[in-house]
Structures are given as structure tokens and as C-alpha cells.
């Protein structure tokens, strides 16, 4: 959406949209960007808050542009939660506008320490934005959000603390489960080749070498040289499988597979990973924990 359009919608909303917090008994409303963040806020807030996610399953946050309906939602939010670190690269102007009109916003990247963020020159912000693929990071973010929400909306403090503590327990169990699953894979097989570099945090936490085709953002297409370099590497290192992603078109990974085959070797597509968006809400991959478990099972089973 153009800046002019955003301004027009904002102006309209300032005069015409339902004012915030004016209705008695209305729930504290949090507007979120990606499906991972929507799921996290639903887990912490439960029935006490209303969470409105603007991106659905399969949506690529690097490329997502705000609709007029999104801007109206954001304008009426009690709190806006987004990933930051330039993940939502096309929404930066919208978040700035929201700050200007006094909306409360929090970027999850800002809740982590420098040490918890992977630096990478390959991205606009010089930081890798895919922070949710470290379970340690997701736990830290959960803890910080409990504190943040309790200050901003003290009447629900007990709910945030109780739900948040329970969710951290689930994340601890997930982390243990992932470690055990990864142990099934010999160290030399722990090489992950995917459509774009979303898995560096996963690689760091669970000892995988990670090679992505498109660089950190999906806004840059994989070049022919990139495909050649990676296909040589796949042959050299005898990598059994490469992976497509639910929110990235499959053509670059298919091109990589074709390149390996053109050299007389074979590599299989190991399955579809959920990287920058969760699956449908009624499916096992429709929440963060289910998505993580599904990805790890897919990766380990294909690379064994």
C-alpha cells in the first residue's frame, strides 16, 4: 500500500473508527503480524485478550504489504506486536505511523540481547530476523512479554503470569524432545539445505550446518551461480535431501535438484518445512510447538 493511501486510511480511522478502550468490558486487543507471534500471544493471553493476526498461514512476511483493513485493525489496537529486525520489511512505514499516533508497539527482536541475535551482512538490518527458530530465544521473548503485558494491562497480570509460566514449561519439553530427535542423526548428516536462510538459529541451537538458497530475505532471488555452488556442494558432501518451504515458491529448490541431476547424481526433496509462517490452525503445524516438531521430524527422517 502506498504512503498516501496509508495516510488517507489513518485520517479516516482517526475520525470514524471506533475509539479504543471506550466500550466497557471490551477485551484488551493485541494486533500481531506473523502466525508465530499470533500463536504466542494467544498462549500468554488466553481468553483474557483478543488477538488479531494480520498474516495468515503460508504468508511470506518479507513481502507482505498492509491492506486497508490491516491499517484499520492496527489503528484500533491496544498493543501491536511484531517481529522487527526488518522481517516485516514492507510494514516499517506503517509501524512508524502507528507510533506517531500514539499506538503502543513492541518488536520481539528488541526483547533479545545482542548475543541472542545472529549478525549477518546479508540482511538489511545486518541481523537475521528468524529469531523464533531458537527455542531459547522464544522462551526469553515469552518471559519478557509476560513482564511487558503485565505492566501495560495490569488487570490481566495473573493470567499472563500463569499462562506464560505454563507455556515456558511446554517450550522446555519441546526443546528436550528436539534434542533427542536430532540425536538420531549422525553429526556428518546434519546439513540443512532450504529455499531461504531461515534456519540459522535452528542450526546454532541444534548443531546443524545451514545452507539457504535465497539469502536471508525472500526478496532476492537465488542466482544461477548460487545454484551451481550449492549443487556441487550437495554432490561433494553426499547430502541426501533438500527442503522446500511453505511460504516460499518451490522453483529455486526444484532448480537446485535439477542441477544435481544434470551432473548425474541424485538428491531428494525431503519435504516441506514451515519457516516464516505456521500451517492451517486446525492442523498439527498450526501452532508453534506443532510446527517445530513437524519440521524436526521431517528434517531428521529425510537426512538419516
Binding stretches for Zn ion (CB under 5 A):
198, 276
Quote the cell numbers at residue 57. 498461514
Which CB sits closer to Zn ion, 46 or 57? 57
Which CB sits closer to Zn ion, 123 or 167? 123
Which CB sits closer to Zn ion, 198 or 278? 198
Which CB sits closer to Zn ion, 71 or 192? 192
Question: What is the gyration radius of the CA atoms in the chain, in angstroms?
Answer: 20
DSSP H/E element including 198: none
Which CB sits closer to Zn ion, 29 or 219? 219
The residue assigned the cell 524432545 is 177
CB of 283 to Zn ion, least distance (A): 21
SS3 25: coil
Say how far apart CA 121 and CA 123 lie, in whole Å.
5
Which CB sits closer to Zn ion, 49 or 198? 198
Cα-based distances in Å from 293 to 128, 179, 194, 217:
22, 11, 17, 24
CB of 270 to Zn ion, least distance (A): 19
Decide: 193 and 256 in contact? Cβ < 8 Å: yes
CB of 130 to Zn ion, least distance (A): 6
Quote the cell numbers at residue 196. 531461504
CB of 106 to Zn ion, least distance (A): 20
The residue assigned the cell 531459547 is 136
Query: What torsion, rounded to 10 degrees, do the Cα atoms 154, 80, 283, 143 define?
Result: -50
CB of 251 to Zn ion, least distance (A): 17
Quote the cell numbers at residue 109. 527482536
CB of 225 to Zn ion, least distance (A): 21
Amino acid at each position: 500500500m502506498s504512503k498516501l493511501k496509508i495516510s488517507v486510511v489513518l485520517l479516516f480511522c482517526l475520525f470514524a473508527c471506533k475509539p479504543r478502550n471506550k466500550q466497557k468490558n471490551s477485551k484488551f486487543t493485541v494486533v500481531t503480524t506473523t502466525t508465530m507471534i499470533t500463536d504466542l500471544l494467544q498462549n500468554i493471553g488466553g481468553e483474557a485478550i483478543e488477538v488479531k493476526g494480520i498474516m495468515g498461514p503460508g504468508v511470506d512476511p518479507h513481502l507482505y504489504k498492509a491492506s486497508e483493513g490491516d491499517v484499520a485493525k492496527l489503528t484500533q489496537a491496544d498493543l501491536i506486536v511484531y517481529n522487527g529486525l526488518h522481517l516485516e520489511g514492507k510494514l516499517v512505514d506503517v509501524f512508524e505511523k502507528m507510533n506517531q499516533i500514539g499506538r503502543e508497539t513492541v518488536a520481539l527482536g528488541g526483547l533479545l540481547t545482542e548475543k541472542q541475535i545472529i549478525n549477518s551482512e546479508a540482511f538489511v538490518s545486518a541481523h537475521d530476523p528468524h529469531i523464533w527458530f531458537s527455542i531459547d530465544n522464544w522462551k526469553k521473548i515469552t518471559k519478557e512479554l509476560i513482564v511487558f503485558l503485565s505492566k501495560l494491562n495490569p488487570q490481566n497480570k495473573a493470567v499472563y503470569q500463569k499462562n506464560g509460566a505454563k507455556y515456558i514449561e511446554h517450550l522446555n519439553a519441546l526443546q528436550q524432545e528436539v534434542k533427542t530427535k536430532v540425536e538420531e542423526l549422525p553429526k556428518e548428516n546434519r546439513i540443512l539445505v532450504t529455499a531461504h536462510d531461515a534456519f540459522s538459529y535452528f542450526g546454532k541451537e541444534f548443531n546443524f550446518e545451514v545452507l539457504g538458497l535465497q539469502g536471508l530475505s525472500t526478496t532476492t532471488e537465488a542466482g544461477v551461480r548460487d545454484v551451481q555452488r550449492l549443487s556441487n556442494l550437495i554432490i561433494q558432501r553426499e547430502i541426501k535431501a533438500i527442503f522446500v518451504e511453505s511460504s516460499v515458491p518451490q522453483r529455486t529448490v526444484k532448480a537446485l535438484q535439477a542441477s544435481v541431476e544434470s551432473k548425474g547424481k541424485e538428491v531428494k526433496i525431503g519435504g516441506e518445512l514451515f519457516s516464516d509462517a505456521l500451517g492451517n490452525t486446525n492442523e498439527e503445524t498450526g501452532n508453534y510447538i506443532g510446527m517445530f516438531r513437524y519440521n524436526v521430524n521431517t528434517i531428521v527422517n529425510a537426512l538419516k
